[in-house]
Structure 1
Amino acid sequence: MSKISKLFKGSSGSSSSSKSHRSRGGPSAQEAIHRLRETEEMLTKKQEYLEKRIEQELMLAKKHGTKNKRAALQALKRKKRLEQQLTQIDGTLSTIEFQREALENSHTNTEVLKNMGFAAKAMKHVHENMDVDKIDDLMHDITEQQDVAQEISEAISRPFGETFDEDELLAELEELEQEGLEESMKNMGGLPTVPSTKLPSARPSQRATTKKRVEDDDDMRMLASWAT
């Protein structure tokens, strides 16, 4: 029994099960996709079988050639019939593939919508015990308490009792620096004074030496005048 006849037999045999499925609301998308995949696998194997048969008939026609024209023509006729079956299977596979993809997309969309509906119900359940007015009041209380906490933090970190004027402190510091400078000048004895007495004149020995040099110069001039 061929695989195609088995397929039709299986489909006819499953008519009772399909009726029961319809009575229960029809087959599931996953079951239909699974059956379509099985059909695709069977037709793909049938394709491979037909392709091998076509190749064999072609080789047989070439083998007989003009020597046995009748056998060669029969082989070519069988090849043509096999090619027609192969073309039909190609079209059937394209149809099944399109149907399977559409069914997979429908199944995906159904699952997505189902999950979105489930999430919407969960969100609705979560929001059932929530009141928008209560939430606004709660956020207002939170903001108010944050402001109070900030004021407390600033009050704690503020230095206690320090109410001094910075300008007054700088003026006092300048006075202390001036007093320190005057004190250091007193310890050094003040600035040096200019002496009121005249500086001592040259020593007598220095005056005698100078006078002797003048006399020697006069003697040299006199000798020079005599020589002329």
Structure 2
Amino acid sequence: MMASFFSYFGGGATAKRNNASKEAIVKLRQQLEMLRKREIHTEKQMLEQDVIARKNVTTNKTVARAALKRKKVLEQNLITTQQHINTLEQQMNAVETANLNLETVKVMKEASDAMKGMNKRIGINDIDETMEEIREGMQLNKEISEAISSVNTVDPNEEDELEEMLADMEQKALDDKIISAPSVPVTAHGQAVQPVAARPQEEDEEEELRKLQAEMAM
């Protein structure tokens, strides 16, 4: 049974699997490099659109608004690119770990072959000892498989910490928005002037323009 198990890792099949895993790792690294370059380029484009919006916020709101729209599209592209990078990094780690496991089992096969050679030179009294060595080899293989299955597990404490950081950032952003919001005008009788209702998209764009004007006035 052991011979049947280890035959999977022998001969030319092993070389083909090794080449396949190495090619997969190379392709993953190439794709990661391309995505990281795209990430940097997208961030540069976002900065350019932000500069255009700030430059035209007081002189040409149409141009400023168009720049803000392009910046929002670029933000979504950046998020998608970063998600792809994260996925490929995890996959590359998994392939590298699997390749390491394959090499480990290959060494175990060589050890098993060596044991077969020794078995030919031992007597009946040494059989129990040899079988124990084989069982130890099988146990080691099981432990390796279990170790591989536990790779890249997410620490619950780390997830909680990330959620807490995101909550803090969100709260800070809300606080900054409240502080920078313009005061509500009042009438001569002390009543707040009600703003005229506008479409949601136009409100967002006008809010962005007001923020830029406030920053440039500082």
TM-score by structure 1 length? 0.45
TM-score by structure 2 length? 0.47
Larger radius of gyration: 1
> RCO higher in 1 or 2 (8 Å CA, sep ≥ 6)?
2
